[in-house]
Chain A
Amino acid sequence: MIHDKKAHKYGMVIDLDKCTGCGTCAVSCMSENNVPFKEDESDKKDSITWMRVYRLTNNKPFPDTEVAFLPRPCQHCGGKGDHGHSPCVSVCPATATDYGYDTGIVSQIYTRCFGCRYCMAACPYHARYFNWWDPVWPEGMEKYLSPNVSPRMRGVVEKCSFCYHRYQLAREKAYASGSDEIPEADYQTACTTACPAGAIVFGDLNNPSHKVHQIVKPDPHPDPLNPDVVGKSRNPKVFRLLERLGTNPKVYYMSEREWVRKLGDHYLDGEWDKVKNVYGSASHE
């Protein structure tokens, strides 16, 4: 059943010009996914934020100062050449995380994880978090936990799952209605639906009728400059984080502002000017 169906490739594009940094995505993510919170959430060595909002600035003095916010979920890397060898998946000694070739989503199985944190070291995006303590919910709040997401215990790693439980429910609904297709609206992540600015667009990157595909226009061919990079956006406004590593994230970012796009990777002097107008592999031909 997995093989004879056309594989999905779920991904999102986040419009950094629309993002106001309000943090609704992060809050909705925590409540949707039973993410435990700590007494001191400012202690970033202890806090767990599947969706974390970073603040970017152009480092210019007033009055030219500009600020942008960058929400960072798990990037659901396809790995080099998009073959499923994500940095975290390839190092996990317990097979507690795997790459779903049917959805393109990187899983995390808490009951299988034994907490070596190798994946956290391997992840270039700091998207993985370790449970140093058992979650403690304020009294009565455990009754409000989502039954669709299993809570974690001390000693395991967790991360964003693209709200996979919503995919599971959407697929059940499709089965019940006798359909093979999951409608775009039936599977949307919590952060996407919660964002008041509508900055996050989520869907199937392989499905041309989905909005995310239309915005990103992923290039089906590998980048001739770096064959490890697949699915580069052909939209000049769209970029990915540390794209040249070849991790092939499925989270794309979009901005009109050049300085924001430049912050998506580390560039040596003069390097940015060579690549800033390169969109997808077609532009090299």
Chain B
Amino acid sequence: MSEIENKTEHGSMDGATAGTAGDPKNDTGLGLGVIFFIVAFLICFLSGWLLFPKLLYSKHEQPFNFDHVLHVEETGDCESCHYLREDGTFSGIPKTESCLDCHTDEPMGDTKDEAIFAAEYVAKEQEVPWYVYARQPDCVFFSHAAHINAAGMDCKSCHGPIEETRTSRHYEENRLTGYSRDIWGKNIWGIKKNPWDRMKMNDCAVCHEKETGHKGYCFQCHK
């Protein structure tokens, strides 16, 4: 007890005359300090937690909405549009030319998005500048063939149920690195529930170690 008394006495002597000096029972200085600390902590914590991600990531809308449900109904599966080429490389997002297998510059349906596609891209023979959520940094080599053919994985195990999406979500880009937010992950606590929540180098290594017994050498995934 005497120790606390000593401390408060010293504290109030050091600080401005917040409380009544020398009276431990009327110590508003300490109380104010604690409140100030909590408030300051909350402000810093919340701005770091809520405001900073907003500042760090810029949001982009896709050129127009893409309805995967509708397209899977028509084409049947992922491979109709996203396929492995004969030489083992992956086609990725289809070019406008592939779309022309079905589409023409006259819209087939009556959605606003298809009208944009037909008028802006098919008629003008332009590629659609899609934002690619899963695009990895330049130094990364990712082989779809190794995962699909050799490891026998399906698209869903890494990309999630994309075929059930009716709308294209925002693309968020890290302003500093220019990478998609899907790489770093949305969850600020770093909690990962699904494989597609985050795809950093360590996420690759964890799965590789589990499935192949080895993280792999640098050049397995780097170029």
- Using a CB–CB cutoff of 8 Å, the interface residues on chain A facing chain B are 1-3, 95, 97-103, 105, 107, 109-112, 148-151, 161, 164-165, 168-169, 171-178
Contacts and interface: CB of A to CB of B under 8 A. Distances in A.
B86 interface: yes
A172 B143 contact: yes
A169 B87 contact: yes
A107 B219 contact: yes
B199 interface: no
B223 A176 contact: no
Contacts of B138: 150-151
Contact of A173 (B87, B150, B216): B87
A171 B219 contact: no
Q: Point out which of A97, A107, A178 has the most chain B C-beta atoms below 10 A from its C-beta.
A: A107
Contact of B143 (A2, A102, A112, A175): A175
6 contacts: A100-B217, A102-B217, A164-B223, A168-B223, A173-B88, A176-B87
A175 B218 contact: no
A176 B139 contact: no
A172 B214 contact: no
B223 A174 contact: no
B217 A107 contact: yes
Interface string B102-137: 000000000000000000000000000000000001
Contacts of B146: 171-172, 175
Nearest to B143: A172
Interface residues of B, number: 25
B75 interface: no
Nearest to A167: B219
Contacts of A97: 218
A149 B214 CA distance: 24
Nearest to A1: B212
Nearest to B213: A3
A111 B139 contact: yes
A112 B141 CA distance: 15
B141 A168 contact: yes
A150 B150 CA distance: 25
Contact of B216 (A2, A112, A161): A2
5 smallest CB-CB distances across A and B, nearest first, come from A172-B88, A176-B88, A175-B145, A100-B217, A107-B218
A110 to B, nearest CB: 6
B89 interface: yes
Contacts of B216: 2
Given A98-B217, A100-B219, A169-B89, 8 more contacts: A1-B212, A2-B213, A107-B219, A109-B222, A172-B88, A172-B145, A175-B145, A176-B149
A176 B84 contact: yes
A248 B143 CA distance: 31
A171 B139 contact: no
B160 to A, nearest CB: 23
A272 B185 CA distance: 62
Nearest to A112: B218
Nearest to A149: B223
